[in-house]
Every structure is written in structure tokens, then in C-alpha cells.
Structure 1
Amino acid sequence: MELTLPGSLGAAIVIDEITQVGQARRCAQQLADEAGFDDADGGRVALVATELATNVIKHGGGGVIYLREIPGRRTRGVEIIAVDRGPGFSLANCLPDGFSTGGTQGIGLGAVVRQSQVMDVYADSRGSVVLARFYPRQQADEDLRFGVSQTALHGETLCGDGWALANKDTTWSFLMVDGLGHGEAASMAAAAAVQAFVAQPLGEPAALMVDLHQAMMGTRGGAVALARVDTAQGTLRFAGIGNIAASLITMESARGLASHPGIVGAQFRRAQAFDFGDIIGQLLIMHSDGLQSRWRMADYPGLLQRHPAVIAAVLHRDFSRGRDDATVMVIALERPHV
């Protein structure tokens, strides 16, 4: 199967009063309809959006519901992520129906588990992140182990960051671009890079960088990172220009991937690719400079084992600078499923 996905910003709904629960439900239902879900599957999405948004208020003191369409191997899916800065909770306690710490009906996260195909949680004293992913029940699909958390500066509708991914057989390719500045001009630069990537996404990163450079001429230009992964061989080839951070993460170490100075679309000396082996079982994390680079996975016990979408949301919540567009992409590097 071949897959090429030009990334989108998704929706971020601030939840700080009960009336906003309905907004989250309606937005989730609309996303399910656009993804081709039938009434029953759309109802599952709406139910979970309602439950998670209510929990954000009752238990987290307010937060954000993130919604986006996601690809499966064969179908389109819907992702809901609830993020708060509350006191955290015990997952074991919250799964059974009937349990409640906030005077609610106590439907419990067990309902989220039953209604979604993928559910994962990370909670500690800094807050909670709950992930739910949905695919049509009648079309069993394989969840792709990646996650993206992205926001535009101050709630703007246009984002100067862009991302994309592609897959064919055991080869994966990932793009992250940060257009200079923010707003419409930065968004145009990022869009030009994404469009050029989509045209031939599985090319060699150094050669593809030259194509993106040509495509971004006439725009503000920006920083670009490209990663090409062969999961059968366990290898990764990386090329970066500018200040997008990229790392390979394990339980024991964090290995930074080097980028060269320059601005794609304006000037840089050359694009050089670097090869890395034995990458299976590691995480690839790439983020724009809207995210601080001082995070350490060791400060979050157990987070490394969570779904990549949960990891992306936690890092975004705790390390977004708040004065620029911010995007973080997390990919679990795994052997192909037989």
C-alpha cells in the first residue's frame, strides 16, 4: 500500500466552561462525517468527545481538546486528544464505570476504551493527556504509530509550520518545515515545501531538499528536516537545514540529528544526508523552534512507552514557547507488521 499525507493543522478547542463541551462534540461529529463514518461510528466519536471534554472541566480544571483526521492503512480515521494541567489521576481507578472524583455520572474512561480502537493515557502531577483514535467498525484498520501536535501562534487560522509523511512497503518518509516568521507568508512558504514533498516523497533526502529549495524560492523560505526510514533494514537517513530539532530517543540515550545552517528557498551551502543504523525500537522526534529544546524524556517516567501521539501532546503542552507556531512529530520506529 502507498500512503502520502500532507499534514493539516487540525482543530484545537479550549474547554474552560461546560458550554464548550457541545462545541467539541459538534466538531468531532463533523470530522467523523467528513471522514465517511456512518451514523453509528460517528456516534461513537461524538460520545467520546463529550466524555473527554467533560472530564477536562471536572477533573482537569479546563484544558484543550485537539481533533484531527488521521490516516489508517485502508481508511480515514479521527483522533481526539484531551490535554489538561490538572492533578492527574489513577488510570486503574478511572477505567471502571461508576467511578467519579467530580460528582459526575462516572461513565469512566472504560467507555472511551470500548468506543475507540486506540486509547492511551499519560497522567502525572503536571496534568493529563488522553488519546482516542477511531476507524470505521466495519473496516478493521491498522493504527499508524505516529503522532503530531501542532498549534498556530495565538490561535491564528494559518500556521507557518508544515508536516507530511509518506509510506510505501517498508519505506517511510517524514517532512517538517518551519516557514520564517508566522502568519500568511510563513504558511505559504511551508505549503510550498509540503507540495514539493508530496510530488515525490520517497526520494533521497539530500536530493529532495534541493527540490524543496526550488519550490520555496519566491517565498520567505524556512527551515526543513527530512527523514527517510527503511524499517526492514533498520536504517534512517536524515537531512536538515535550519533550526528544526530532531532526535533519536531510547530508554538510555537521546541522539541529536545534525542540521546545517541556512534557509531553504533562500540560501544554504549544501544539503548533506547522515545515515543511522539499528534504529528499530527507537523514537524519532522532530519539532519546530516553537518548542523549547530543553525537554528530557527521563523527566517523564513511563512516557517513552506511550503512544507517539500522547508523547507529542505532552511535549507540546509543557514546552511550547507560546510566541510562535509550534509543531512536534513523534514516530515509533518499528519492524513492519507481517
Structure 2
Amino acid sequence: MTKFVRDNIEVIAHQTAKEGKSFCGDGYYFTATDEYFICVLADGLGSGEFAYEASSAVIAVVEEHHEKDIDALMKLCNEVLVQKRGAAVALFKVHFATKEFVYSCVGNIRFFLYSSTGKLTYPLPVTGYLSGRPQVFHTQRFTYEADSKFLLFSDGLNIQGIKSLLKAFLPIDLISEDIKKQYPSTADDATFILGSLL
């Protein structure tokens, strides 16, 4: 489990590998500057070493170029997957000054944003996966309010009742414990990233 806290954001990430596998095919990375928070979750196709190699390539390129905009980063993610297994990729940037999310996803990764006023936003991903082939990206922008929460998870998890999970106004530590208890996953690589925007 990874925990990250700054003045304006708090994030927890939790990951488990498929039972019997020494490599986890999911990879994630997040960091924040004074201007923005950026987060990527990559789910390499299948499981094991080649899935790990694909997701790791995505993570490395985002880590190296996180100052770029989301469209440019998605193109880079796609390019690094040429001759590799391929990966589902979700990527977003939170701009603190404008209180805006910029989000793009290709593949079966779910994202939810729950505002303090009770609105649940869940942008639909583009189907398929990144593999270096020409790809259309659907980048979306939406605003958020203080005390909003977000949840991003790979398809190794099938989390239900997202709204009631996030609207309880519990600290994210407790929500993440709830998710781990209710959805123990060993049948596939599984990752969730849970955050609170302060």
C-alpha cells in the first residue's frame, strides 16, 4: 500500500498480483507539483512478466514526462508499447488552480469522481488497449469541488455501490480498508487508487 499526502490532496494506492505470479501486470504512478497532481494506472494485457513489462513501460514514460498535457502523454504511452504486450491505460491530471480534472482512458479501467454535493462522475473509457497502433483518444475535462473523492481501479476488481462507498465522508484510510475487506482479489492482478481533494 502506498500513501501520499500534500496540502491539497491525499491518496492511497493498493495492489495485489494474481495468485501464483511473481510479477504484477498492473502498474501505477502518481506525483504532485504546486500546480497539479498526475496519476496513471496501466493494466498490462494478461498477467505475469510480459504484462509487467508493458505496464512498466507506460509508468516510466509518464514519470519522465509528467509535465506534458494528457493528450501528449497518451500518445507517448501508446508509442512505448510498440512490440510489447499492450496495456489498458487511464491517465488524469488535476489542476489545482482551476479545480479541473483532465482525464483519458483506453481499456477496461474504471474511474469515479464523487463531489461533496453528491454528484457522481464516471467518464466512459475508449474500448480496446494501447499497443502502438494508431489510436483515437477521448480526453475529457470536468471540474471538481473541495472535499471531492476519486476512485480508479483495474478490472481485477469489480467494486459495486461506488456512490455509497464514497459518500460516507469517511477518511480514505477507512474506505480503502472497506474495499480490501469486501473485494479480496487473487484471480487477477488488481489495483485501486483512492484520493481525496482537500
The whole-number CA distance in structure 2 between the counterparts of 1:241 and 1:70 is 26
- Counterpart check, 1:260 vs 2:151: no
Gapped regions of structure 1 (runs ≥ 5): 1-67, 74-141
- Counterpart check, 1:175 vs 2:44: no
Match of 2:170 among 300, 305, 313: 305
Equivalent residues in 2 for 1:76-95, closer than 5 Å: none
Structure 1 residue aligned with 2:109: 244
The answer on whether the counterparts of 1:295 and 1:319 sit within 8 Å (CA) in structure 2 is no
Equivalent residues in 2 for 1:324-335, closer than 5 Å: 324-334=188-198
Equivalent residues in 2 for 1:157-196, closer than 5 Å: 157-196=22-61
Larger Rg belongs to: 1
The normalised TM-score by structure 2 is 0.88
The whole-number CA distance in structure 2 between the counterparts of 1:301 and 1:249 is 7
Kindly indicate whether structure 1 or structure 2 has the higher relative contact order, using CA contacts under 8 Å at least 6 residues apart.
2
The answer on whether the counterparts of 1:291 and 1:326 sit within 8 Å (CA) in structure 2 is yes
The answer on whether the counterparts of 1:225 and 1:238 sit within 8 Å (CA) in structure 2 is yes
**Number of equivalent positions:** 197
Percent of aligned positions with the same letter in both sequences? 23
C-alpha distance after superposition, 1:226-263 (max 9, x if no partner): 11001221111000000100010135232102211121
C-alpha distance after superposition, 1:40-70 (max 9, x if no partner): xxxxxxxxxxxxxxxxxxxxxxxxxxxx565
- Counterpart check, 1:151 vs 2:37: no
Structure 1 letter corresponding to 2:112: S
C-alpha distance after superposition, 1:280-320 (max 9, x if no partner): 32111100000104233426873x321x2432332233134
- Moved beyond 6 Å, runs of 4+: none
Say if 1:187 and 1:233 are closer, same or farther in 2 by CA, change over 3 A: same
The answer on whether the counterparts of 1:202 and 1:228 sit within 8 Å (CA) in structure 2 is no
Equivalent residues in 2 for 1:311-322, closer than 5 Å: 311-322=175-186
- SS across alignment from 2:14: strand
Higher share of residues assigned helix: 1
The answer on whether the counterparts of 2:89 and 2:107 sit within 8 Å (CA) in structure 1 is yes
Structure 2 residue aligned with 1:286: 152
Say if 1:323 and 1:294 are closer, same or farther in 2 by CA, change over 3 A: same
Equivalent residues in 2 for 1:23-62, closer than 5 Å: none
Give the RMSD, CA atoms, in angstroms.
2.3
The whole-number CA distance in structure 2 between the counterparts of 1:319 and 1:213 is 30
The whole-number CA distance in structure 2 between the counterparts of 1:199 and 1:148 is 20
The normalised TM-score by structure 1 is 0.54
Structure 2 letter corresponding to 1:288: S
Match of 1:198 among 45, 63, 67: 63
The answer on whether the counterparts of 1:309 and 1:330 sit within 8 Å (CA) in structure 2 is no
